Amino acid sequence: MAYVITDTCTKDEHCIEACPVNCIHPTKDEADFETVAQLHVNPGECIDCGACVPVCPTNSIFLSDEVPTEHAEATDKNAAYFG
């Protein structure tokens, strides 16, 4: 079970810095960083460690089965980002 980032994400990159497996994208070095509204967790690479959760200043990161109903579309958006 991977983590999902909701649309309250401000792309501050604290989660990227905390992630031990670099599964959060895009980073500032990737071409689409400026054009996407939020960051996304690659479910195939996420090791479910939770290191990203406590560093998120907007409380935008949830386990995929614990995403609040008002942000339910975040799971689909995350999956679509990684195709």
Please state the pTM of the whole predicted model: 0.93
Check whether 1 has a pLDDT greater than 80: no
Cα–Cα distances (Å) from 4 to 19, 72, in that order, read 13, 10
Is residue 52 a contact partner of residue 67, using CB atoms and an 8 Å limit? no
List pLDDT tens digits, range 34-64. Answer: 999 999 999 999 999 999 999 999 999 999 9
Average of per-residue pLDDT values in the chain: 96
72 vs 3: CA distance, rounded Å = 13
